[in-house]
Copies of this chain bind each other. A is one copy, B any other.
Amino acid sequence: MPSKKRSTSTDVAKLAGVSRTTVSFVLNDVLGVSISDVTRKRVLDAARELDYHPNVAGKKLVSGKSYTIGLVLCQSPEQIFTDAFLPQVMLGVEQAAIQHGFHVLLKPIDPNEAGGYASLIRENHVDGILLSGPRQDDTALVRLYEEGVPIMLMGQLPDTAIPFVDVDATAGAQAAVSHLISLGHLRIGMITNAPLTYTSAQQRRTGYRQALLAARLPFDESLIQEGNYTPSSGFEAMSELLEISPRVTAVFVASDVVAMGALLAIKRAGLRVPQDMAVAGFDDIPLAEYFDPPLTTVHLPAYGLGWAAGERLIRLIRGEGLNEHSLLLESKLIARQSSFIA
């Protein structure tokens, strides 16, 4: 292997016949220093000829900045596997980072052992942390925030002052359930997307409840079944729900993936969608439009979520303030044939 040594700014200086300081001034376009055009050109030519790329370790050491953000995923592996939402979010984060010259360090952690990401910041690996799916009991996170570490959440953490970006899942869920109500359904079941320890599950449940209350319909806890990201959990939950008498005529499933399992359970029971059972999902995964029947669902701006979160974290890192402390992105109801016949 040839593998020539990487060239340093000293090499460039030597070739250009100037000091290393001058090289730094030229290459970084430092304001307030004057360099003659001829010298500037000599430096640039030398840099090009040597294929010079500044070593980030050196920059990092002297500046104390790493120009890297840590994207910490608290989802369980099970969730990551089935989550069609995540890639879009990550892409959004990445684009925001690139636009500001930042890199993204990926760090999925086991949600049960919180705080595994602290070393990222303490060892100066990253300048700030973007946390997806924060756990309620994550005290290490709050401590980090109070130390002044730039942190941005995707998803909310009640009772803390940590800024976040989130989709307005509550409003979205309410819209979905209101939609079902407007179609004449009076007895509507719900299947959660995840155990209720997750705030995302709670928000959606709250939306369900609000829609019922707004229509003066009774809120019956026994009509709620718990899912856990997977289609199979949806199948189980729906099967349970079908046992209840009098039967529900519609169901709000707080995740498209889980809804897929629910649909199968409904079909197995010999019922038709939407005639015998209307179904509304949540997330608007790319496949939802191709479900059988096409799934009424709530579209979440996944890409926008990632982008906004990344953008705002970087602003925090730079010490620029945020004009609003936190951000709720709008979701949008997409009515398809699983809830009514066109």
Contacts and interface: CB of A to CB of B under 8 A. Distances in A.
Interface in A266-298: 267, 286-287, 289-290, 292
Given A80-B87, A106-B105, A287-B287, A61 B53 contact: no
Q: How many copies does the complex hold?
A: 2
A236 interface: no
Interface in A126-151: 146-149
A264 B286 contact: no
Interface stretch (A38-46, A117-125, A213-221, A320-328): A117-125
Interface centre among A51, A54, A82 (most CB of B within 10 A): A82
B1 A147 contact: yes
A55 interface: yes
Contacts of A254: none
Contact of A56 (B86, B125, B148, B289): B125
B53 A119 contact: yes
A77 interface: yes
Interface in A56-109: 56-58, 60-61, 66, 68, 71, 77, 80-84, 86-88, 90-91, 94, 103-108
A104 B94 CA distance: 14
Interface string A1-26: 11110100000000000000000000
7 closest A-B pairs by CB: A1-B148, A3-B148, A53-B122, A57-B60, A57-B61, A231-B290, A260-B290
Interface of A: 1-4, 6, 51, 53-58, 60-61, 66, 68, 71, 77, 80-84, 86-88, 90-91, 94, 103-108, 119, 122-125, 146-149, 230-231, 235, 257, 260-261, 263-264, 267, 286-287, 289-290, 292
